[in-house]
Amino acid sequence: MTKLSVNINKIATLRNARGGNLPDVVQVAKDVQKFGAQGVTIHPRPDERHIRYQDAYDLKPAVYTEFNIEGNPIDRFMELVLEIQPAQATLVPDTVDAITSNAGWDTVAHKGYLKEIISELKNKGIRTSIFVDPDPAMIEGAAETGTDRIELYTEEFAHQYGLGNEDAIQPYTECAELAHKLGLGVNAGHDLSLENIRFFKENVPHLLEVSIGHALICESIYQGLENVVKAYLQKLQ
């Protein structure tokens, strides 16, 4: 079964809109795990517009499944991750002012930099994953950095699938096969939803984990958080 890691950034966005601690991100993390999710993901950004750096520390004792912290490995991010030592760190090349992640790493151009960062993380026993576009050259470059896994950036698939273009899955299928051949684990995320997750899972081999936040939280407004988490788990079986 492919694991589900729930990204709770949007819960923090709602909390921050009014101040105070409603909704409580720590309680939500506990709840999604109770409902069956096998992991919790956060993506702190420098402006702390959703998840705050303090949230990462508060969540550490509450996450008893897999804690995945993702972000651009700037100094502050690295200090946070090396101190908390989550199960996994996912490296994402987002700019400071990015609304959301919008590209994978150029693992060829940044190979030396990524190797250095990954070595530092792995020395602390932290599993590493690199956010990449479904491009065979980027997969091959990732394999040379020493990373444990890649995370396939799935926005283009989700957009095309919504237009009825099922062939958009092909690059993801091919890159997952290549990653597995090169000894890399395969994760995926960005705009995956209840509408497209089963098709993605059935057509992307060796898929270890998906990280889903925005769609899952939006769907939960109508269907309830417990119902939605369980629906994802059923589709990922």
3-class DSSP assignment, residue 7 = strand
Identify whether the C-beta of residue 86 lies closer than 8 Å to the C-beta of residue 74: no
Q: Contact at 8 Å (CB) between 100 and 70?
A: no
Which entry of 43, 50, 66, 209 is annotated as an active-site residue?
43
- The yes-or-no answer on residue 159 being catalytic is no
Catalytic residue of the set 50, 66, 70, 151? 70
Q: Other CB atoms closer than 10 Å to residue 118's CB: what's the count?
A: 22
The answer to whether residue 190 is catalytic is yes
Say whether 70 is catalytic.
Answer: yes
Output the CA–CA distances (angstroms, integers) from residue 93 to 98, 100, 102, 116, 231, in the order listed: 10, 11, 9, 15, 31
Q: Which is nearest to 44 in space by CA: 88, 6, 7, 17?
A: 7
Residue of 66, 151, 190, 209 marked catalytic: 190
DSSP secondary structure letters along 28-71: HHHHHHHTT-SEEEE---TT-SSS-HHHHHHHGGG--SEEEEEE
Residues assigned a catalytic role: 43, 70, 190
